[in-house]
Amino acid sequence: MRKQIVAGNWKMNNDLSQTDALISDLKGKTRTSDAEVMIAPTFTNLYAASQALKGSDIEVVAQNMHFAENGAYTGEISAGMLKSIGVNTVILGHSERREYFNETDELLAKKVDAALAKGMRVIFCFGEELADRKASNEETVVGDQIKNALFHLEAAAFQNIVLAYEPVWAIGTGETASPEQAQDMHAFIRKTLADKYGNNIADQVSILYGGSVKPSNAEEIFSKPDVDGGLIGGASLNADDFFAIVNAF
């Protein structure tokens, strides 16, 4: 059985007191689904968040990391540093990292390797831009992103990989892929995995959808057979909305 996952990407939002307040709100919510729940605060608040959520069923994950173990990389954070504060999962390849910080598939392959080498789980993000979809190139773009960053891995590595399909045109825009568009792409992604690694692996990997998921559309999107949950940006900053999405399963 694939894991159902709802992960909140807080991006560069919430200082320490806002992080504390949102976590208190989240702890007060009632859960009616079995989905794994994760939140990704900023680096400066990861330790406080992981302490505040110790023993709870909400996992604290990082939004990014560097591929090196340590060294002269001013401003960067390594997998080992994340693990030392109890963070065992990292989001890599978010479209904002690709767009504003020039993260390429080649760089992301190194980050994926570094995270897996430390025993971390990776939520690997990818997705096409609007121009790609208008040109009907979305499958080629998505297929290449996956192959370039992940297809050097051994099959066993996929036990620690979660995929997150996030069409760039739907992130933070209020525009969502239709449930059918999401399902079509998720089925394509699963087939791409199956062609390389076989059906067993492809069937085990959770594929999340991200892009303006909200309480009003989560249930329909999550009802699709190849959609195993969501990576949630804006709506994860409000505990009621986030838990309405968690409980949409």
- Write out the residues near ligand PEP by the rule CB under 6 A: 9, 166, 171-172, 210-213, 231-235
How many residues belong to the chain?
A: 249
Closer CB to ligand PEP, 229 or 233, in the complex: 233
- d(C-alpha 52, C-alpha 47), whole Å: 9
**CA 60/CA 54 separation, integer angstroms:** 9
Angle at 15 between CA 99 and CA 160, to 5 degrees: 55
Residue 243 to residue 72: CA distance in whole angstroms: 40
Query: Residue 141 is encoded by which pair of tokens?
Result: 């773009």
d(CA 104, CA 88): 23
Active site residue 94: yes
Residue 216 is inside which H or E element, if any?
A: helix 215-222
- Least distance (Å) between residue 233 CB and ligand PEP: 2
Catalytic residue among 94, 103, 128, 186: 94
Nearer to ligand PEP, 67 or 93 (CB): 93
* Nearest residue (CB) to ligand PEP, 6 versus 231: 231
201 vs 207, beta carbon nearer ligand PEP: 207
Q: How far is the CB of 170 from ligand PEP (least distance, A)?
A: 6
Residue 48 CB, nearest distance to ligand PEP (Å)?
22
CB of 7 to ligand PEP, least distance (A): 9
The residue nearest ligand PEP at its CB is 233
Q: Hey, which residues are catalytic here?
A: 94, 166
